[in-house]
Amino acid sequence: MDVTFRIRRYNPEIPGKDKPFWQEFSLTGVDETDRVLELLHRIKWEQDGTLSLRRSCAHGVCGSDAMRINGANKLACKILVKDVGDRIQVEPILGLPVLKDLIVDMEPFFAHYRSVMPYFVNDSPVPADGRERLQSAADRAIFDDSTKCILCAACTTSCPSFWANGDYVGPAAIVQAHRFIFDSRDQAQQERMEVLAEPDGVWRCRTIYNCTPACPRDIQVTRAIGEVKLAIRKGSTSGIIDPADIKIATSNS
Ligand code: FES
């Protein structure tokens, strides 16, 4: 089949291309099971070597090729032609500064990520027998979903609250905070909740729900944000989540 791409281009170093513009490319011999990433490679390698995009693993693991495909945030390596049709519009994710073509500056996104202390905190001595800090399967299940995040920014850059205010910490950072706030072994949940209780924290979320369908890992992002809001309202995580409910949600997904 033939496919036409319409790609948002921008190159601040080339006069005439230093304002965003659209460019079309035609490809022949495309299979409906080809991935959008492969076709962008074909354009770059066969037609225009200056086309710039990020990618690494090509298997939906590294999170580097999030882009807006036919108006929705996707990983180019996970989307097949049959998912989007023979006219494919590609543009950079929204809300972050564009550096060149499909490449955005991820630093504001990672600054929000760092602000929620996305690492395990526990200053207690390790158990005397030298074993790991143990946790029940039920306690582990509470934050299992939020461990799946690959930091592709698809959720945060699909959020109108983030588009309107780049200081908003954003869905991805809240998911990362959720992963540790609800970890029974962690000791910094109060500090994280204080960060997220700030004006640009979790209350900027208006439950618009763009983030959940944008997640390529099917994380229930809006649910995680709701649980963090509840925890902040209560001042603690205890009793907010019934592990039995988590089991039901997991087995239904
Ligand atoms: S290239 Fe790694 S997630 Fe797509």
CA of 32 to the centre of ligand 1 (A): 19
Ligand 1 atom with the shortest distance to the CA of 60? 3
- Cβ of 61: how many Cβ atoms within 10 Å? 13
| 252 found inside a domain | no
- Looking from the CA of residue 57, the nearest atom of ligand 1 is 2
Q: What is the pLDDT of residues 204-249, one digit of tens each?
A: 999 999 999 999 999 999 999 999 999 999 887 776 766 556 554 5
The H or E element spanning position 4 is: strand 3-9
pTM here is 0.91
Residue nearest to atom 1 of ligand 1 (CA): 58
Here the CATH number for the domain that contains residue 89 is 3.10.20.30
96 and 115 inside one domain? no
User: How far does the centroid of ligand 1 lie from the alpha carbon of residue 67, in Å?
Assistant: 11
- How does strand 3-9 pair with strand 87-91? parallel
* Residues 84, 79: Cα–Cα separation, whole Å: 8
Q: Using one digit for the tens of pLDDT, what is the confidence trace for 183-198?
A: 999 999 999 999 999 9
DSSP 8-state class, residue 64: T
Query: Do residues 151 and 50 share a domain?
Result: no
Written as six digits, the tokens of 79 are 């989307």
Cα 123 to ligand 1 centroid, rounded to whole Å: 35
d(CA 171, CA 62): 18
- Based on the fold, state whether residues 138 and 230 are members of the same structural domain: yes
Residue ending a domain, among 81, 104, 127, is 104
> What lines the ligand 1 site, CB under 6 Å?
55-58, 60-65, 75, 77
